[in-house]
């Protein structure tokens, strides 16, 4: 009974509620709530709870009764001492955590749907956005063949231009989406285009990120200015496709209330068998844009994709769990690829969008395309896997030896996919392909654990140069090799999840000039996603440059950064390796890597546009370029000043303040940049301790012919020259706070004891 009274007491319920709210704010909400906002939220919630539980004198007396007893009752001496110790220690600990320097990125607020202007200037005309309507929706009935043709044209335009960021399923998860912050919007979200008028989309598409008002952080948005690349009618066709594909109705005054005569469609059983016509309709809507109307992999988006979409007519599938003697995958293999997608490609995860019946129907259609729909399941033999052994040191040694003897020719000794044999690899269709970078599991396809690696090793990857190894290696050796492959990810720094601050560490004495200097191990490494320029012409749709890893050190006078970029190809024009890697029809350029920082800090959260700045906010670019054999040239380091993508960055006449040295080994460039913290050039940013400085990176792959704005890049991150900690100051503040808390506790206890008649 006493226990029930305890659980029902308002003090206990209040503490429980505040604890739950804290857990939700701190650990459940996504994206995470910044610490400053978390404190504000908890203060507001605490005040609200106190207002409720102290509504009148009776409620307040009941709420505070346990506290009055704790502070004043003679029988509560031991609990009072324990509470005193907890308060003093807790306040000291919390204060220490708050005053201790951290590398949490500065708070940046962004309006997702900023208010549009009343009018818009585009295509040489002025539009009244309050009255602007989709001309095709006004001209044609949505159920007409004419409107269906408009939607089909919009689909083709979308899959040629928008899929890379917004994704095949329109969910904002395109294969380059991870590069951007903020991420591309999810058109499937009921809080997005379903709540917007089509005129709003017309404004956002035509003017892109640079056309946003300040509260929309135009410097961060990767949305292209499509007015420069699409005609007016093409924009409206894409908008029509977006609403048709998602099933949403655009918001308008006329559609705010449904007609009383409107008939709701009959509910569809997701598990009901589908007719052949229904399956064909699903395929045409979900799959044909990449895999082609006839399943031949020649969809409208295929030309701009790497790797190319699967040609179902060949009956060859890369990822299967059947043995090498079985030509085809199981239904579950196909189902896994459809539902979970292929990481690092344009193939999305259809889980949640397709019903079981639709997936089953698509599997049968894929078989029909390849003329193997009559193959019986018992004809597909499983892989003989044996028992998975523990990865002992002896086994890993065997795996390392095997990998270096039979795998390194393609994947490289460190597993970065740098071909050491000089072979030019191609798939069965003749498309040039590159071995997987095994150090970054983010790009592995249908391969999550050692069992998956064992399967890939055993049966190979059909239609690619990756062979089966059941005849060359016994089961034990394959397990050993698979376990060793899993260790190759230790050769890379994982992509930073939710972290955006590069912490530059202060060192005494000289800074390292060699990327192999062990002093670099003292600097925290950060890895970021990179994506190709699909934003502005001339665009780049295929690249092998996916990640950049950065470390930073500084001393009293200089700052230095080591920038690592995995590059399968050594692009030094005229060199033996460059000629071995050369892509037919592509004029090789020199590899290059750049660091970008603002020319000056704004004093607010405003930054230059993340792609080479803008006219009002220029940027400094530290550009290192690899050497060349033919024509002969040494590596170079140049400071460039950039004011946007419309004008080429201007090289400085004097770049002597910057030095950069690069080294390529085992499929990776490591470039060490160095510059004084303070320079005499008025155009330079001056570095200071404790100041968050925006920073971005770019890379050019010479074998791919990348030059100018055809490169891979990151969005803005931060670099912080961390001030040395002052332990005396930090501990002093914490101790003073703890003593004050203890003094207040004693004052409250003394007053409470007086109420109990104690002197």
Which region among 303-312, 351-360, 370-379, 385-394 has the lowest average model confidence (pLDDT)?
Answer: 370-379
Confidence of residue 602 (pLDDT cuts 50, 70, 90): confident
Could you tell me the pLDDT band of residue 422, with boundaries at 50, 70 and 90?
confident
Structural domain total, the chain: 5
**Does 257 score more than 60 pLDDT?**
no
pLDDT tier for residue 259 given thresholds of 50, 70 and 90: very low
Widest CA span in the chain: 97
Question: From CA 35, how far away is CA 104, in angstroms rounded?
Answer: 9
Residue 749 covered by a domain: yes
Q: How confident is the model at residue 27 (pLDDT cuts 50, 70, 90)?
A: confident
At 283, is the secondary structure helix, strand, or coil?
helix
Summarised one tens digit per residue, pLDDT across range 176-186 is 999 999 999 99
Q: Are residues 297 and 186 in the same domain?
A: no
Q: What is the pLDDT of residues 572-588, one digit of tens each?
A: 888 888 888 888 889 99
Q: Would residue 269 count as lying in a domain?
A: no
Cα–chain-centroid distance for residue 295? 31
Instruction: Please state the rounded mean pLDDT for residues 1-28.
Output: 81
What is the residue-averaged pLDDT of the chain?
90
Q: Which of 491, 514, 534 is the C-terminal boundary of a domain?
A: 491
pLDDT digits (tens, 9 = 90+) for 243-253: 999 999 998 75
The predicted structure's pLDDT at residue 264: 52
CATH code of the domain in which 612 resides:
2.60.40.1190
pTM of the model: 0.86
Residue 511 lies in a domain: yes
Q: How far is Cα of residue 502 from the mean position of the Cα atoms in its chain?
A: 17
How confident is the model at residue 39, as a pLDDT? 85
pLDDT, tens digit, 9 for 90 and up, residues 286-344:
999 999 999 999 999 999 999 999 999 999 999 999 998 888 999 999 999 999 999 98
Strand spans (E) along 438-522: 501-506
Please tell me the total number of residues recorded for the chain in this structure. 759
Q: Is residue 123 part of a domain?
A: yes
* In a shared domain, residues 583 and 640: yes
CATH number assigned to the domain comprising residue 210: 1.10.760
Mark whether 459 and 600 lie in a shared domain: no
Q: Which of 487, 475, 416, 425 is nearest to 450 (CA)?
A: 487
Q: Are residues 549 and 583 in the same domain?
A: yes
**Residues 511-542: tens digit of each pLDDT:** 999 999 999 999 999 999 999 999 999 999 99
Q: Which of 101-105, 271-275, 505-509 has the highest mean pLDDT?
A: 505-509
Whether residue 266 is contained in a domain is answered as no
What pLDDT is recorded for position 759? Answer: 43
Query: How do residues 180-233 score in pLDDT, each as one tens digit?
Result: 999 999 999 999 999 999 999 999 999 999 999 999 999 999 999 999 999 999
The residue-averaged pLDDT of 65-88 equals 81
Q: Where are the alpha helices (DSSP H) in 73-175?
A: 77-99, 135-139, 145-161, 163-166
Q: Cα(171)–Cα(163) distance, rounded to whole angstroms?
A: 10
- In a domain, residue 386? The reply is no
> pLDDT class for 266, splitting at 50, 70, 90?
low
> What is the model's pLDDT at position 64?
82
Same domain membership, residue 407 and residue 288: no
Would the pLDDT of 260 be above 50? no
pLDDT at 103: 66
User: Does 144 lie in the same domain as 84?
Assistant: no
Q: Judging by beta carbons within 10 Å of its beta carbon (0-12, 13-18, 19+), is residue 97 exposed, middle or buried?
A: exposed
- Domain edge (last residue) among 356, 379, 402: 379
Query: Is the predicted pLDDT of residue 265 greater than 60, yes or no?
Result: no
Residues 693/561, Cβ–Cβ less than 8 Å: no
Distance CA 622, CA 637 (A): 7
Among residues 379, 403, 426, the one where a domain terminates is 379
Of 602 and 107, which is predicted with more confidence? Answer: 602
pLDDT in tens, 464-501: 999 999 999 999 999 999 999 999 999 999 999 888 99
Whether residue 575 is found in the same domain as residue 688 = yes
329 and 322 Cβ atoms separated by less than 8 Å: yes
* % of the chain beyond a pLDDT of 90: 68
Q: Provide the phi-psi class of 603: left if phi over 0, else alpha when psi is between -120 and 50, else beta.
A: left
pLDDT of residue 62: 85
CATH number of the domain enclosing 374: 1.10.760.10
Query: What letter would DSSP give residue 302?
Result: G
- Residue keyed to tokens 């404790």: 690
pLDDT band at 268 (very low <50, low <70, confident <90, very high): low
| Same domain, yes or no: 239 and 285 | no
Neighbouring C-beta atoms of residue 132, cutoff 10 Å:
16
For residue 154, give its domain range.
Answer: 119-246
> Partners of 671 in the beta sheet?
563, 662
Residue 683 pLDDT: 94
Does the structure show a pLDDT above 70 at 131?
yes
Over residues 263-285, mean pLDDT: 79
Residue 50 has pLDDT above 90, yes or no: no
Given this model, what pLDDT does residue 757 score? 64
Determine, yes or no, domain membership for 253.
Answer: no
**What pLDDT is recorded for position 102?**
67
Answer yes or no: do 445 and 541 share one domain: no
Per-residue pLDDT band at 25 (split at 50, 70, 90):
confident
CA atoms within 13 A on the CB side of 375: 20
Claim to verify: residue 617 and residue 515 sit in the same structural domain: yes
φ, ψ dihedrals at 280, nearest 5°: -60, -40
Rg of the chain in Å (alpha carbons):
31
Q: Are residues 77 and 134 in the same domain?
A: no
* Contact of 339 with 355, CB cutoff 8 Å: no
In a domain, 748, yes or no: yes
Residue-wise pLDDT for 626-682, tens only, equals: 999 988 999 999 999 999 999 999 999 999 999 999 999 999 999 999 999 999 999
- pLDDT score at 149: 97
Q: State which of 50-54, 59-63, 443-447, 677-681 shows the largest mean pLDDT.
A: 677-681
Rounded Cα distance between 679 and 94, Å, is 40
Distance between CA atoms of residues 148 and 488, nearest Å: 50
Poorest-confidence range of 29-38, 152-161, 496-505? 29-38
Whether the CB-CB separation of 327 and 380 falls below 8 Å is answered with: no
Distance CA 546, CA 200 (A): 33
- Do residues 743 and 717 both lie within one domain? no
Residue 381, burial from CB neighbour count under 10 angstroms (0-12, 13-18, 19+)? exposed
């Amino acid at each position: 009974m006493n226990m029930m009274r305890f659980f029902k007491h308002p003090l206990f319920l209040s503490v429980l509620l505040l604890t739950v709210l804290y857990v939700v704010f701190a650990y459940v909400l996504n994206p995470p709530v910044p610490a400053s906002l978390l404190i504000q939220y908890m203060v507001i919630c605490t005040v609200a709870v106190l207002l409720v539980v102290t509504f009148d004198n009776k409620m307040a007396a009941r709420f505070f009764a346990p506290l009055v007893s704790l502070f004043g009752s003679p029988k509560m001496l031991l609990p009072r001492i324990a509470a005193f110790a907890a308060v003093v220690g807790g306040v000291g600990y919390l204060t220490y955590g708050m005053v201790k320097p951290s590398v949490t990125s500065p708070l940046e607020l962004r309006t997702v749907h900023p208010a549009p202007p009343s009018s818009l200037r585009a295509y040489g005309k002025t539009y009244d956005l309050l009255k602007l309507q989709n001309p095709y929706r006004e001209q044609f009935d949505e159920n007409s063949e004419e409107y269906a043709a408009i939607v089909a044209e919009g689909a083709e335009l979308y899959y040629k231009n928008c899929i890379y960021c917004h994704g095949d399923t329109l969910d904002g998860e395109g294969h380059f989406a991870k590069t951007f912050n903020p991420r591309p919007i999810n058109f499937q979200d009921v809080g997005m285009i379903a709540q917007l008028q089509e005129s709003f989309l017309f404004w956002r598409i035509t003017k892109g990120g640079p056309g946003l008002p300040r509260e929309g952080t135009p410097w961060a948005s990767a949305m292209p200015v499509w007015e420069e690349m699409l005609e007016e009618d093409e924009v409206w066709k894409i908008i029509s496709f977006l609403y048709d594909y998602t099933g949403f109705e655009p918001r308008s005054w006329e559609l705010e209330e449904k007609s009383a005569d409107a008939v709701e469609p009959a509910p569809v059983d997701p598990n009901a068998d589908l007719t052949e016509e229904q399956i064909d309709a699903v395929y045409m809507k979900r799959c044909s844009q990449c895999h082609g109307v006839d399943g031949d992999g020649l969809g409208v988006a295929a030309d701009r994709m790497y790797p190319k979409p699967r040609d179902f007519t060949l009956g060859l599938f890369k990822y299967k769990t059947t043995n090498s003697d079985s030509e085809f995958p199981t239904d579950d293999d196909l189902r896994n690829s459809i539902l979970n997608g292929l990481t690092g490609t344009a193939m999305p995860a259809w889980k949640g969008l397709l019903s079981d019946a639709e997936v089953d129907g698509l599997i049968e259609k894929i078989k029909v395309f390849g003329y193997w729909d009559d193959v019986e399941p018992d004809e597909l033999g499983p892989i003989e896997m044996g028992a998975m052994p523990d990865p002992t040191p002896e086994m890993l040694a065997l795996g390392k030896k095997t990998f270096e003897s039979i795998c390194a020719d393609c994947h490289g000794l460190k597993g970065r996919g740098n071909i050491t044999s000089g072979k030019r690899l191609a798939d069965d269709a003749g498309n040039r392909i590159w071995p997987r970078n095994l150090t970054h599991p983010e790009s592995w396809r249908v391969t999550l654990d050692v069992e998956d690696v064992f399967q890939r090793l055993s049966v190979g990857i059909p239609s690619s140069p990756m062979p089966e190894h059941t005849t060359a290696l016994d089961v034990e050796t394959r397990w050993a090799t698979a376990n060793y492959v899993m260790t190759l990810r230790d050769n890379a720094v994982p992509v930073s999840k939710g972290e955006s601050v590069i912490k530059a560490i202060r060192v005494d004495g000289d800074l390292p000039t060699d990327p192999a200097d062990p002093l670099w191990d003292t600097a925290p490494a950060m890895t970021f996603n990179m994506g190709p320029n699909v934003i502005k012409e001339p665009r780049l749709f295929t690249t092998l440059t996916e990640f950049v890893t950065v470390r930073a050190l500084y001393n009293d006078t200089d700052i230095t950064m080591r920038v690592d970029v995995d590059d399968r190809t050594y692009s030094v024009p005229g060199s033996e390796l460059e000629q071995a890697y050369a892509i037919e029809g592509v004029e090789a350029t020199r590899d290059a890597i750049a660091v970008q920082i603002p020319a000056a800090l704004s004093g607010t959260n405003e930054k230059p546009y993340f792609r080479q700045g803008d006219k009002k906010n220029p940027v400094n670019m530290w550009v290192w370029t690899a050497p060349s054999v033919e024509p002969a040239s040494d590596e170079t380091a140049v400071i460039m000043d950039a004011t946007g993508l419309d004008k080429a960055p201007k090289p400085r006449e004097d770049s002597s303040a910057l030095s950069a040295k690069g080294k390529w080994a085992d499929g990776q460039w490591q470039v060490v940049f160095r510059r004084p913290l303070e320079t005499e050039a008025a155009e330079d940013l001056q570095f200071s301790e404790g100041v968050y400085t925006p920073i971005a990176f770019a890379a050019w792959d010479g074998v791919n012919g990348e030059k100018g704005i055809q490169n891979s890049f990151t969005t803005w991150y931060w670099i912080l020259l961390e001030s040395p900690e002052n332990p005396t100051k930090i501990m002093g503040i914490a101790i003073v706070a703890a003593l004050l808390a203890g003094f207040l506790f004693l004052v409250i206890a003394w007053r409470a004891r007086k109420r109990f008649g104690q002197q």
